[in-house]
Amino acid sequence: MAKLSMSNTRKRKHYRDSCTIQGTGEIVKAGDWVLMKSPEPDNRPYIARVEKFGTDIKGNFMVTVRWYYWPEEASGGRKQFHGAKELFLSDHYDFQSTNTIEGKCIVHSIKEYTKLEVVGAADYYTRFEYQASAKEFTKTYVSVYCKCEMPYNPDDIMIQCDECRDRFHPRCVKITNAQEKWSSNYVCDECSP
């Protein structure tokens, strides 16, 4: 009588370290940022960072992701200083089908983002971490600029004082866009003689 070894009777979990996105052929690995399908077709995609790959109990190939939240999804909502492509890294992890991955993107730090010569459709940035379960931010301090004392928004035009190097919104220092366009030098009221 032949005996079955335990290794033959157990289902083995198969792990891969990457997946190929259906339709685009892009390879996604752990650490990559991805666009995930929204259940509502007219909504923008969700954005997540791939943590690892695995299989569920039925053997389906799955991905563990760490979600980014849009400002509207966090407590307090969108503020004036939040840029159009700003995201919050959350403590919300999820196990999703790899079929929900639509494409790859890049989530930069705000410092990296502001240095980009061209911001592409797949470029986003983050500067805050959000605890979704507690509905609060882990990093609450951010530098403020201008007379209005608002955090920097990369979507807003700012001018820099040639003397003190502080930055200002043209509207806050009563400079029209036309004046700013033609003026290469600016000295703020504090530095003016």
Helix, strand or coil, per DSSP, at residue 4? coil
Residues 38 and 18: their CA atoms lie apart, in Å, by 22
Residue 115 has pLDDT above 80, yes or no: yes
The rounded mean pLDDT for the chain is 84
Those residues whose C-beta lies under 8 Å from the C-beta of residue 157, and which sit 6 or more positions away, are 169, 170, 177, 180
Those residues whose C-beta lies under 8 Å from the C-beta of residue 170, and which sit 6 or more positions away, are 157, 158, 159, 176, 177, 179, 180
In this structure, the strands spanning 27-29 and 136-137 are unpaired
More confident residue, 192 or 106: 106
pLDDT tier, 149 (very low <50, low <70, confident <90, very high otherwise) = confident
Portion of the chain with pLDDT greater than 90, in percent: 40
Tell me the per-residue pLDDT of 59-87, one tens digit each, with 9 for 90 and over: 888 999 999 999 999 988 998 889 999 99
Residue-level length of the chain: 193
Domains of the chain: 13-142 (2.30.30.490), 157-193 (3.30.40.10)
pTM across the whole model: 0.78
Residues 48 and 35: their CA atoms lie apart, in Å, by 7
> Minimum mean pLDDT among 32-41, 80-89, 153-162: which range?
153-162
pLDDT tier, 182 (very low <50, low <70, confident <90, very high otherwise) = low
Buried b (16+ CB within 10 A) or exposed e, 143-175: eebbeeebbbbbebebbebeeeeeebbbeeeeb
Residues 12 and 108: their CA atoms lie apart, in Å, by 38
More confident residue, 143 or 62: 62
How high is the pLDDT of residue 104? 96
Residue 49 has pLDDT above 90, yes or no: yes
pLDDT tier, 1 (very low <50, low <70, confident <90, very high otherwise) = very low
Helix, strand or coil, per DSSP, at residue 84? coil
